[in-house]
Amino acid sequence: MKICFYALREYDELVFCWQMRDKYGIDFVYSTDYPNEKNIALASGCDGMSCTPCDMSAKTLKAFHDVGVKYILTRSIGYDHIDLQAARELGLKVDTVSYTPTGVADYAILLMLASIRRFAHTLKRAELQDYSLKNKLGRDFTACTVGVMGTGRIGTTVLQHLSGFGCRLLAYDVHENDTARKLAQYVDLDTLLRECDIITLHMNANDDNYHIINAEAIEKMKDGAYIINTARGKLIDSEALIQGIHSGKLGGAALDVVEFENGLYYYNLMGEVMVNPKLAILRSFPNVILSPHTAFYTAEDVCDMVEGNFRSCWEFGTGKRDHGIEG
């Protein structure tokens, strides 16, 4: 068996690929570029292809199918970038990965603390030797009500770690779980929006929750509330967020993910014109923190992501599993 890796980072992922090749007996080739018309042929003779979030539309899937690829493997938890219907029609098996939830969970809490204490803004001013206190007044984290939207593995871990801070904790999910219920009070979405000082998103993106944070949702929030997103950019209507911050309705936001980040994040675009105008506007706000989709980025998580793709290929190829998330 053989996997073709795309957008492979030689400075961190490659060493784990060599380790997993020996562990699973699966060979690999790779490109540091995202899949495109010029490099899809690299996957010829490979059972699987591995990618990070990128364009995996029906056209791209068909191209991989035509060179003999049978398995579409993404090194991410989310899979909204893959056209699952097209994959089913082509007979392609699709799988994602899971990784230790603590990295993203702790990063989300880091962003919460940085937001309510105006940490990024304070540091920027300190770099210019502005040591005054005006416009740096923060809030006591313990006095905040925190709402967690999505109580899967990461959201539940956020609740576990937040429990030590003494915050009041609310949770929302269409599928409740017992562990989260012991840590937080499950409420309906309107109640969470209305009562929380901080709202953190930990949901997979799908048609049902697309722009779940929109103008109507923001209007229901407490004045001065903060939004934290380490999940998927599609969960937030960027224009509504901009208006909410510009009007002063929201206290701020900390975003590790944004809409239309493909083609931006993980590239060095220093000195180039910003092609995402909403991202450019968000960058201009002193009460917005933007990080380039790095909440997952720990050595443990990167290892888990690479191994997850090797494991899926091995399970598919040996008949241990007969289908993936495509159903």
d(CA 289, CA 167): 22
Indicate if 117 belongs to the active site: no
Residues recorded for the chain? 327
Residue 126 contacts by C-beta under 8 Å, 6 or more apart in sequence? none
d(CA 49, CA 131): 52
Indicate if 323 belongs to the active site: no
Among 81, 202, 293, 311, the one annotated catalytic: 293
The strand pairing partners of 199, in sequence order, are: 147, 227
Among 111, 109, 65, 108, CA closest to 86: 65
Among 118, 121, 202, 232, the one annotated catalytic: 232
| Helix segments in 128-232, DSSP class H | 153-162, 178-183, 189-195, 215-220
Q: What H or E segment, with its residue span, contains residue 279? A: helix 277-283
CA angle 153, 157, 159 (to 5 degrees): 125
Among 81, 118, 153, 261, the one annotated catalytic: 261
Residues with catalytic function: 232, 261, 293
